[in-house]
Amino acid sequence: KCVEVNYIEGANDKRWSSENFLWTKKLEVNNKKVFGNHSFRPNQREVINATMSGYDVFVLMPTGGGKSLTYQYIVDYIGMLRWFISLDAGFLVLPALICPGITLVISPLVSLIQDQIMHLLQANIPAAYLSANMEWTEQQEILRELSSDYFKYKLLYVTPEKVAKSDVLLRQLESLHARELLARIVIDEAHCVSQWGHDFRPDYQGLGILKQKFQNTPVLALTATATASVKEDVVQALVEFVTHCRHYRYSVIPKTKKCLDDIDKFLKENHFDECGIIYCLSRMDCEKVAEKLQECGHKAAFYHGTMDPAQRAFVQKQWSKDEINIICATVAFGMGINKPDVRFVIHHSLPKSIEGYHQECGRAGRDGQRASCVLYYSYSDYIRVKHMISQGAIEQSPLPSGYNRFNIANSGRILETNTENLLRMVSYCENDVDCRRLLQLIHFGEKFDSANCKKTCDNCLKIKSFIEKDVTDITKQLVELVKLTGQQFSSSHILEVYRGSLSQFVKKHRHETLCLHGAGKHLAKGEASRILRHLVTEDFLMEDVKKSDLYGSVSSVLKVNESKAKNLLFGGRTIILRFPSHVKPFKLGKSEATPAKGSLTSGKPSPPQIGTPVQPQPEVDLHM
């Protein structure tokens, strides 16, 4: 599918299809006469109209789709437009030579450049290129030509290395820009800027300097191979002039009652007096967190949707000017923030989706210095967020325009999608094995070799190796247990019973007499809960959330999703999970380990044997 994305106005905006632009007629003539084409290919017209209108445009079109022509067609008209404006229009169209303006094209390979120049010269369009392996005198000549106001070139091709290394070139570009002769900046193969991409080139990262220096010059970024995260990087690096690669450290930390003390300590140890954002779930949380941090000696303030706009603007300004360091905010805070030195993004509660999380983290480290992305996670936050979503009580981040997310009319579907997104986020947090980067990218449908993480996420840092375990029997028992207890208890109660607790509450409900009581005795608490939560994130079990009292606290009971669970109980489905191998003491079926008192599905008592690596991998769950 061919997608043309205009960074500012959103994909497929009808207005760019119009044939009533000032340049439309001339454009079509040029397409035919100069290039010998009969019509435009899909989206060519839209790209041209948007860039000609002065917008920054990100173009994703397949190879051979005609991307190069979108900027080559128009070289004559840039000058023309200038004349229309400066001479009050109405004059005859002036020949290109009288009104020169040059398009700077950055392309990664000299061979590609040479090929393009050849085609351009054949079409009588004067073009030149500069590269490091050219004769110095030859380069000098081109640069000298460009210092004349009547230079002949319509396009100047350069390699990214040239931009990075040549001060002479930069000065020449500055001079062109000052003379209003720099028409536009084209970045071909723009995916090279992203480390998520397949073709990362460090020198592309430096191209952000162009937008920084020439802010009003339109950028046209072209690629045939951008995934969502690559696109985000391209836009941030080349359009929003974030000039360096990001150095993130991702981690997920269990959230306890001492969470605020933990945050305080983390900040004092790692980021004292540095700038950052703490994302909170509710308005009240924002205020609470800010207050606590102030008490601990941090310069913090809160920011959320119910403050009046002037107040919000004031806080944001204080933060931008470093008068305060920490902003405790709902996701309402974020769009259009371009502070380069944000050193940390902390999530005090579970984000609503991986996309949101990715985007919120993206506000840190834009200057290329190290930044921390820390997420405090507790399963009970999942229950809380789930409830808030169902009540529509959650603050939404302002959508970047151009994201057509959901059809508003179809709110049932929105709720479903939101719930799915949230579950994926839970799954991400519950996973303490796989590389965080890998897990994020899987969500965007991409691949990532976790070796490239270089231990910059918590999971890569702590784990030397992992082990795959067949947990099918355990999952079956847990589902059975939820049924046996009548689908009216919380997940923590189910875990207690499964692990053989003899607490008052267990006794009160006579759960110690159930055949599965203690069937999971040999499992560590964390392991058992991870498996149970996996059942929730995979939708075999569901959390049924209710408001439990007047003060707004919520409670939740586990229910069985019958249709899916059937597949697990009787469908011969295997579930394999990865566990860090250092967690080892997953006691192998030792004699003291209580065997399951009865496996309800097969009839024969079979203690779940975990701890042995599993060879066949019918369905390796990356826990996502």
- The answer to whether 435 contacts Zn ion (rule: CB under 5 A) is yes
Q: Is 539 exposed, middle or buried (0-12, 13-18, 19+ CB in 10 A)?
A: middle
**SS3 of residue 149 by DSSP:** coil
Least separation in angstroms between residue 6's CB and Mg ion is 19
Verify binding: residue 373, Zn ion, rule CB under 5 A.
Answer: no
What span, in angstroms and rounded, lies between the C-alpha atoms of 592 and 521? 10
Judging by DSSP bridges, how do beta strands 275-279 and 155-158 pair with one another?
A: unpaired
- Which of 7, 23, 40, 151 is the binder for ligand ADP (CB under 6 A)? 40
Q: DSSP per residue over 352-421, as a string?
A: S-HHHHHHHHTTS-TTSSEEEEEEEE-HHHHHHHHHHHHTT-SPPPPPPTT-----TT-HHHHHHHHHHH
Exactly one of 460, 482, 532, 560 binds Zn ion (CB under 5 A); that residue is: 460
Which 41-80 positions form the footprint of ligand ADP (CB under 6 A)? Answer: 41, 44, 61, 63-69
Spatial distance between the Cα atoms of 409 and 391, rounded to a whole number of angstroms = 17
Asked if 45 contacts 2 with a C-beta cutoff of 8 angstroms, the reply is: no
Site string for Mg ion, 34-73 (x = CB under 5 A): ---------------------------------xx-----
Nearer to Zn ion, 251 or 491 (CB): 251
Query: Residue 275 or 441: which CB sits closer to Zn ion?
Result: 441
Site string for ligand ADP, 584-623 (x = CB under 6 A): ----------------------------------------
With 0-12 / 13-18 / 19 or more C-beta atoms within 10 angstroms meaning exposed / middle / buried, residue 292 is middle
Q: Which residue, 97 or 123, is less far from ligand ADP as judged by CB? A: 123
Provide the strand spans (E) within 458-522.
Answer: 466-470
Please work out the total of residues on this chain that contact Mg ion, with binding judged by CB under 5 A.
2
Least separation, in Å, of the C-beta of 349 and ligand ADP?
44
- Three-state secondary structure string covering 226-277: CCHHHHHHHHHHHHCCCCCCCEEEEEEEECCCCHHHHHHHHHHHHCCCCEEE
Helices 283-295 + 259-270 axis angle, to 10: 50
| Residue 293: CB minimum distance to ligand ADP, A | 51
Nearer to Zn ion, 92 or 451 (CB): 451
One-letter amino acid at 32 equals K
- Which of 60/442 has CB closer to ligand ADP? 60
463 lines the binding site for Zn ion (CB under 5 A): no
* Residue indicated by tokens 């900040």: 267
Under DSSP, the state recorded for 152 is -
Q: Which is nearer to ligand ADP, 41 or 587 (CB)?
A: 41
Pick one of Mg ion, ligand ADP, Zn ion, none as the site partner of residue 453 (Cβ within 5 to 8 A by kind).
Zn ion
Select the binding partner of residue 124 from ligand ADP, Zn ion, Mg ion, none (C-beta < 5 to 8 A, by kind): none
Query: Residues 27, 301, 453, 577: which binds Zn ion (CB under 5 A)?
Result: 453
Which listed option, ligand ADP, Zn ion, Mg ion, none, makes contact with residue 69 (CB within 5 to 8 Å by class)? ligand ADP
Least separation in angstroms between CB 623 and Zn ion: 14
Q: Which of 12, 24, 37, 390 binds ligand ADP (CB under 6 A)?
A: 37
Report how far residue 588's alpha carbon sits from residue 607's, in angstroms, rounded to the nearest whole number.
10
**Minimum CB distance to ligand ADP, residue 67 (Å):** 3
Total residue length of the chain = 624
Number of alpha carbons in the 13 Å side-chain half-sphere of residue 261: 3
Q: How far is the CB of 52 from ligand ADP (least distance, A)?
A: 16
C-alpha torsion 427→430→436→442, nearest 10: -20
Which of residues 115 and 323 has its CB atom nearest to Mg ion in the complex? 115
Q: Name the residue nearer to Mg ion (CB basis): 67 or 211.
A: 67
In this chain, which stretch among 143-151, 414-422, 432-440, 492-500 interacts with Zn ion, using CB under 5 A?
432-440
Stretch that binds ligand ADP, among 34-42, 131-139, 383-391, 401-409 (CB under 6 A): 34-42
Sites of contact with ligand ADP (CB under 6 A): 37, 40-41, 44, 61, 63-69
